[in-house]
Every structure is written in structure tokens, then in C-alpha cells.
Amino acid sequence: MSLKAFCWYLVALWLVLSFVIPSRGGDWPNWLGPDRNGVSRELLPDEVQIGDLLWEAEIGIGFSSFSISRGSLYTIGHRDGQETAWKLCAETGAIEATFSYPAELLPKLHEGGPAATPAVAEDQVILMSKDGQLRVLTKDLSQVVWEKSMMEESELQRIPEWGFAASPVIMDDLVLVEAGATFAYDLKTGEERWRSKSYRPAYGTPHVFQLDEKRFVAVLKTDGLVILCAETGETRGFSLWRTSFQTNSTTPIEIGEGKFFISTGYDRGCCLFVFNGENLSTNYENMNMCNHMGNSVLMKGALYGFDGTAHRGRAVEFTCLDPVSGEKRWNFEGLGYGSVIGVGDDLIVLTEVGELLIGAAASDGFVSRAKKQVLDGRCWTPPVFANGILYARNAGGRLVAQRLGQ
């Protein structure tokens, strides 16, 4: 075979395989999605429609979001004194596997139940219960590979007031776990590789980032923003940030190289921190965005989120913020408390009462071009969009799947 013919053969083979082998580029395998920023890599059509209910399931009380991997959906719910991890077919909702274990409900100003989202690795699923039981299972949920009580590991005297809410984070061959200290365990064996200095337990999930070819972990503890060396767990930066009722419960948002936006509720406000590899400093601090529980998302150079607290004080406003200056670009009331994710150039909003809205991420205002009531009850969990399907749940445990198309 001539070189030219061989090259044409390779091109033809690539074209065939690109159609035969299904792409999983739209998977959402962990908290905040494939890029850990709350934004899907997919696109929505200009004339997007929220289709009829594709399927629904009852998964138990809780606020755990969803992870989608290779055609399966993973989540957790609580019922009758135990939590259940679910593996469902992402297309049909058919039950593929379940795994249950005793766990506390821990309701307080809300229904209770699990709040952490499963993380899916190549061969494993990592679960964190509301009362601090860490388990690594095979992907078919048939076998516990290893498990730990984070109450014992952290030597906490009591379960944190709002339970264990931070989701596990996969970092290469490690899993990062928030339990007062941040712990790094070998994903395969459960061996502890490092643990950070102990702080008051946080409810937000750690964020891994790179700066000057070095890797770090940013985590918003109850005491403040902490920057850890990803290799050793050593604290490399700390800045005090405390919120009423000890409710620092969001994930730091990476704005640019070494720049992190944080925001918390109860009118504490927001701040843009700068880390230079050795120290933390601030660019601004104000009250223009107070994210109570749900993260804002960074889209097209702007932050979009819900400014206000779910059950206290002033009316909640859906807000667009300039991340560099901290100034509001627009804001309006009327949606109540809600959550938001990004898909392509669009925002998908789920309100507290279960209304779904889709509109462009724009710095001059928000106009929904699709709207539908998809759930009832309390809806605090951010939805997930993966492989053309939108997944959402309420606190009572009703999970709905809606196809978004033209």
C-alpha cells in the first residue's frame, strides 16, 4: 500500500470510528460538572424546547445532586433510617443497581438527608453520607472497596451542624475529602496520603487549581478561605471569612490565574481573592452577591447567581456581577431562591418552587426563551445537563428527567 493510500485509509477509519463509538463528552461525572465550574460543554439549540417528562423516579429525601457517567446516573437519597445510592439508566430511569446503609437524616430548617454528590472515577464511585461515612464502591455498586468514618478520622466531637455536605473530589489517584481538615486518600487503597491543618468543618467542596506549574487546593472553611499545597496538604494561604450561623457552604470559583471569587449568604457578601503562590490578598469585598448555598457560575466574563438567603431577610435577586470589579450589571426579584448552571452560551435556572427557565447569558439582562414547571416542593439542588437531558430533583426525593431539544 502506498503512503498516500495508507493516509486515506487512516482518514476513513477515523470517520467510521467517530460514528460507531459514542461520544461521552457530555458526561457530568462529579459536583459542578466535567470542568468543575457548573458549566456543561454542550450547546442548546436557538429554539430550545423543554420536552415532556422523559422519566421520573423516587430516590428519597435529600439534596445530593447527580453524576452522569457512561450512560448511568448516580445520586443519593434517604428513606426509613438509611441512605441509598442509586445507579439509574440515564436515558430511561431504569434501576441498574442500589446500595443502602444506615445514616442519620439530620433535618434542621430543611428536610435533611444527604447533601454531597457522588464522584465517579474510571472504575469507582465515591459516596459521602450526611453523617460522615465515606465509601468507595465499584461502579456497579456491588462491592465496597474501602470505607472510613470521617468522624473518627477527623476526631470531631460531634457531627457538624449541617452535616457533611462537601462532595468528594477526585485528583488523579487521590480522593479529597472535607472533614474539618482536608484529607487526601489513595483512591484504590484508602491509604491516607496527607491531611491539612484542622479548621472548623466546611460545607463547600474543595477546588483543585494550577498556578505556575504547581497544583493547589482552594477550600472555603468555616473560618475562611484556605489554599493548600496539593502534594502535601500544607497551608499556603489563609484569609479570614466568617458568615453568620457558620454557613460557608460554597465552592471557590476560579476567575483567572490565582484569582478566586467566593460568596456566602446572610448578607456576608462576596470577595475576589488573589493568590500569588505564597500569600492571599483581596481585590474587592462587597455585598453585591450573597450566595447562600448554591454557587454562581462564570459565563462569558460575568458571574450569574442568586443574591440572598433562602429563608431570611430581604428578597432574593437573580443577579449578574462583573467578576473583576464586583459591580452589579443587572438584578431582579421574582424568582425567589434558586440555582443556576451554564450550558454553552445559556443559563439554566431552577427556582426554589421547581420552575425551569432557559435564557442567554447576557450582561444586559436575562430573558427566558423557554419556561416550564417541572417539579413541586422545595428545590435547592442545582440541576444537571448531560448528553441532551436535564435532570432535577426536589428535597422530598422526586427526580425528573427532561430532554431539551428543538
The residue type of 402 is Q
Instruction: Please give the model's pTM, rounded to 2 decimal places.
Output: 0.92
Query: Mean pLDDT score of the chain, rounded to an integer?
Result: 92
Half-sphere exposure of 222 (CA within 13 A, CB side): 20
Q: What tens digit of pLDDT does each residue of 10-56 get?
A: 333 333 333 333 334 589 999 999 999 999 999 999 999 999 999 99
The C-alpha atoms of residue 366 and residue 382 are separated, in whole angstroms, by 19
Instruction: State how far the alpha carbon of 230 is from the alpha carbons of 22, 128, 277, 359, in Å.
Output: 34, 21, 12, 37
Instruction: Give me the pLDDT at residue 156, please.
Output: 94
Query: Which string of DSSP letters, residue by residue, matches 326-365?
Result: --EEEEE-SS-SEEEEEETTEEEEEETTSEEEEEE--TT-
Instruction: Give me the pLDDT at residue 22, please.
Output: 35
Domains and CATH numbers, the chain: 29-405 (2.130.10.10)
Instruction: State how far the alpha carbon of 398 is from the alpha carbons of 47, 132, 311, 340, 393, in Å.
Output: 28, 24, 22, 19, 5
Query: Which of 56, 112, 108, 114 minimizes the C-alpha distance to 83?
Result: 114
pLDDT band, very low/low/confident/very high, at 311 (cuts 50, 70, 90): confident
Answer yes or no: is pLDDT of 193 > 60. Answer: yes
Query: Which of 374, 322, 327, 330 minimizes the C-alpha distance to 348?
Result: 374
Task: Read off the pLDDT of each residue in 128-142 and give the average, rounded to a whole number.
Answer: 98
Query: Which of 316, 67, 290 minimizes the C-alpha distance to 168?
Result: 67
Task: Read off the pLDDT of each residue in 306-329 and give the average, rounded to a whole number.
Answer: 91
The C-alpha atoms of residue 298 and residue 342 are separated, in whole angstroms, by 8
Q: What tens digit of pLDDT does each residue of 326-365 get?
A: 999 999 999 999 999 999 999 999 999 999 999 999 999 9
Instruction: State how far the alpha carbon of 388 is from the alpha carbons of 39, 178, 401, in Å.
Output: 14, 32, 10
